[in-house]
Protein backbone atom coordinates (compact mmCIF):
# COMPACT_ATOMS: atom_id res chain seq x y z
CA UNK A 1 0.00 0.00 0.00
CA UNK A 2 2.80 2.40 0.86
CA UNK A 3 4.40 1.68 -2.51
CA UNK A 4 1.13 2.63 -4.24
CA UNK A 5 0.95 5.86 -2.22
CA UNK A 6 4.59 6.62 -3.14
CA UNK A 7 3.79 6.09 -6.82
CA UNK A 8 0.80 8.45 -6.67
CA UNK A 9 2.85 11.05 -4.79
CA UNK A 10 5.52 10.92 -7.50
CA UNK A 11 3.00 10.91 -10.36
CA UNK A 12 1.31 14.06 -9.07
CA UNK A 13 4.53 15.72 -7.84
CA UNK A 14 3.27 15.96 -4.28
CA UNK A 15 5.99 17.49 -2.19
CA UNK A 16 6.39 17.75 1.58
CA UNK A 17 3.44 20.16 1.83
CA UNK A 18 1.16 17.10 1.34
CA UNK A 19 1.97 14.81 4.25
CA UNK A 20 1.28 11.08 4.12
CA UNK A 21 0.34 9.61 7.50
CA UNK A 22 -0.11 6.06 8.69
CA UNK A 23 -2.30 5.67 11.77
CA UNK A 24 -1.56 2.36 13.51
CA UNK A 25 -1.68 0.53 16.81
CA UNK A 26 1.69 -0.97 15.86
CA UNK A 27 0.65 -4.55 16.54
CA UNK A 28 2.31 -5.90 13.38
CA UNK A 29 5.60 -4.02 13.67
CA UNK A 30 7.44 -7.26 14.33
CA UNK A 31 6.92 -8.22 10.68
CA UNK A 32 9.75 -7.30 8.33
CA UNK A 33 7.28 -6.43 5.55
CA UNK A 34 5.58 -3.89 7.82
CA UNK A 35 8.95 -2.42 8.80
CA UNK A 36 9.86 -2.10 5.11
CA UNK A 37 6.60 -0.29 4.45
CA UNK A 38 7.30 2.15 7.26
CA UNK A 39 10.82 2.72 5.95
CA UNK A 40 9.31 3.49 2.54
CA UNK A 41 6.87 5.88 4.19
CA UNK A 42 9.83 7.74 5.70
CA UNK A 43 11.46 7.94 2.27
CA UNK A 44 8.24 9.65 1.04
CA UNK A 45 8.54 12.24 3.82
CA UNK A 46 5.63 10.61 5.63
CA UNK A 47 4.98 10.09 9.29
CA UNK A 48 3.33 7.60 11.61
CA UNK A 49 0.68 8.32 14.21
CA UNK A 50 1.05 5.45 16.67
CA UNK A 51 -1.98 4.91 18.94
CA UNK A 52 -1.18 4.51 22.64
CA UNK A 53 -4.22 5.11 24.85
CA UNK A 54 -3.08 3.34 28.03
CA UNK A 55 -0.06 1.98 29.84
CA UNK A 56 -1.27 -1.22 31.50
CA UNK A 57 -2.66 -4.51 30.21
CA UNK A 58 -5.97 -3.70 31.89
CA UNK A 59 -6.03 -0.22 30.35
CA UNK A 60 -5.36 -1.53 26.84
CA UNK A 61 -8.05 -4.19 27.28
CA UNK A 62 -10.63 -1.69 28.55
CA UNK A 63 -9.93 1.06 26.01
CA UNK A 64 -8.84 -0.86 22.92
CA UNK A 65 -10.46 -4.23 23.51
CA UNK A 66 -7.18 -6.11 23.03
CA UNK A 67 -4.66 -7.79 25.28
CA UNK A 68 -1.38 -5.91 24.89
CA UNK A 69 1.72 -6.06 27.04
CA UNK A 70 3.03 -2.55 27.78
CA UNK A 71 6.60 -3.71 27.07
CA UNK A 72 5.56 -4.94 23.61
CA UNK A 73 3.80 -1.64 22.87
CA UNK A 74 6.97 0.23 23.91
CA UNK A 75 9.16 -2.08 21.81
CA UNK A 76 6.97 -1.62 18.73
CA UNK A 77 6.78 2.14 19.27
CA UNK A 78 10.58 2.31 19.52
CA UNK A 79 10.97 0.18 16.39
CA UNK A 80 8.55 2.42 14.49
CA UNK A 81 10.19 5.66 15.63
CA UNK A 82 13.58 4.40 14.46
CA UNK A 83 12.15 3.80 10.98
CA UNK A 84 10.02 6.91 10.41
CA UNK A 85 9.06 10.15 12.18
CA UNK A 86 6.50 9.01 14.74
CA UNK A 87 3.91 10.85 16.79
CA UNK A 88 2.11 9.10 19.63
CA UNK A 89 -1.65 9.59 19.33
CA UNK A 90 -3.42 9.39 22.70
CA UNK A 91 -7.10 9.79 23.53
CA UNK A 92 -8.02 10.72 27.09
CA UNK A 93 -11.59 10.59 28.34
CA UNK A 94 -13.66 9.79 31.39
CA UNK A 95 -14.98 6.23 31.75
CA UNK A 96 -17.81 5.89 34.24
CA UNK A 97 -17.02 9.44 35.33
CA UNK A 98 -13.33 8.74 36.04
CA UNK A 99 -10.25 9.75 34.08
CA UNK A 100 -7.19 7.48 34.14
CA UNK A 101 -5.84 7.13 37.69
CA UNK A 102 -2.30 7.86 38.82
CA UNK A 103 -1.10 4.28 38.28
CA UNK A 104 -2.42 4.22 34.71
CA UNK A 105 -0.81 7.59 33.93
CA UNK A 106 2.52 6.43 35.39
CA UNK A 107 2.36 3.26 33.30
CA UNK A 108 1.58 5.32 30.18
CA UNK A 109 4.51 7.64 30.89
CA UNK A 110 6.68 4.56 31.37
CA UNK A 111 5.67 3.23 27.92
CA UNK A 112 6.80 6.53 26.38
CA UNK A 113 10.02 6.55 28.38
CA UNK A 114 10.78 2.89 27.54
CA UNK A 115 10.13 3.52 23.84
CA UNK A 116 12.68 6.32 23.92
CA UNK A 117 11.41 9.87 24.15
CA UNK A 118 14.42 11.06 22.18
CA UNK A 119 13.12 9.08 19.18
CA UNK A 120 9.55 10.39 19.23
CA UNK A 121 8.32 13.46 17.33
CA UNK A 122 5.82 14.18 20.11
CA UNK A 123 2.37 13.35 21.41
CA UNK A 124 -0.99 14.22 19.90
CA UNK A 125 -3.25 14.33 22.95
CA UNK A 126 -6.95 14.56 22.23
CA UNK A 127 -10.32 14.05 23.82
CA UNK A 128 -13.72 12.85 22.63
CA UNK A 129 -14.55 14.98 19.62
CA UNK A 130 -17.80 13.27 18.72
CA UNK A 131 -20.18 10.72 20.22
CA UNK A 132 -18.73 7.21 20.27
CA UNK A 133 -20.39 4.43 18.29
CA UNK A 134 -19.01 1.75 20.60
CA UNK A 135 -21.33 -0.20 22.92
CA UNK A 136 -19.64 1.55 25.89
CA UNK A 137 -20.65 5.00 24.59
CA UNK A 138 -23.04 5.77 27.48
CA UNK A 139 -20.12 5.23 29.88
CA UNK A 140 -17.80 7.68 28.07
CA UNK A 141 -17.49 11.43 28.56
CA UNK A 142 -14.96 14.10 27.65
CA UNK A 143 -12.08 14.41 30.11
CA UNK A 144 -12.06 17.61 32.14
CA UNK A 145 -9.74 20.25 30.71
CA UNK A 146 -7.65 20.11 33.90
CA UNK A 147 -6.99 16.37 33.45
CA UNK A 148 -5.83 16.92 29.88
CA UNK A 149 -3.62 19.83 30.92
CA UNK A 150 -2.10 17.75 33.74
CA UNK A 151 -1.29 14.86 31.40
CA UNK A 152 0.14 17.24 28.80
CA UNK A 153 2.40 18.75 31.47
CA UNK A 154 3.62 15.28 32.52
CA UNK A 155 4.43 14.43 28.92
CA UNK A 156 6.26 17.74 28.42
CA UNK A 157 8.40 16.91 31.47
CA UNK A 158 9.80 14.05 29.34
CA UNK A 159 11.00 16.64 26.83
CA UNK A 160 8.31 15.84 24.28
CA UNK A 161 6.24 18.25 22.22
CA UNK A 162 2.53 17.90 23.00
CA UNK A 163 -0.31 19.08 20.79
CA UNK A 164 -3.61 19.15 22.67
CA UNK A 165 -7.02 18.95 20.97
CA UNK A 166 -9.76 18.76 23.63
Q: What is the DSSP string of 81-136?
A: HHHS-EEEEEE-EEETTB---HHHHHHHHHHHHHH-TTT--EEEEE---S---STT
State residue 131's pLDDT score: 84
State residue 22's pLDDT score: 96
State residue 130's pLDDT score: 85
pLDDT digits (tens, 9 = 90+) for 10-42: 899 988 788 899 999 999 999 999 999 999 999
State residue 127's pLDDT score: 95
pLDDT digits (tens, 9 = 90+) for 104-153: 999 999 999 999 999 999 999 999 988 888 888 999 999 999 999 999 99
Total-model pTM? 0.93
Under a CB-based contact definition with an 8 Å cutoff, are residues 70 and 42 in contact?
no
pLDDT digits (tens, 9 = 90+) for 35-64: 999 999 999 999 999 999 999 999 999 898
Name the nearest CA neighbour of 24 among 91, 80, 71.
80
User: Would you list the domain boundaries of the chain?
Assistant: 2-165
Q: Interior CA angle at 76 toward 70 and 79, to 5°?
A: 140
Name the nearest CA neighbour of 70 among 86, 53, 93, 85.
53
Query: Which pairing describes strands 93-95 and 140-142: parallel, antiparallel, or unpaired?
Result: antiparallel
Residue 156 pLDDT level (bands cut at 50, 70, 90)? very high
Q: Which fold has domain 2-165?
A: TIM Barrel (3.20.20)
pLDDT digits (tens, 9 = 90+) for 66-81: 889 999 999 999 999 9
State residue 15's pLDDT score: 82
For the chain, the average pLDDT equals 94
Amino acid sequence: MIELVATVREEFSLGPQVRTRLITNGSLLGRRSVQQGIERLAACEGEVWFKVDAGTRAGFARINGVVLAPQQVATNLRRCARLCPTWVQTCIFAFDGKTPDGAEIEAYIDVLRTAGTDLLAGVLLYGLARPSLQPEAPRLAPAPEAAMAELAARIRELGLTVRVSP
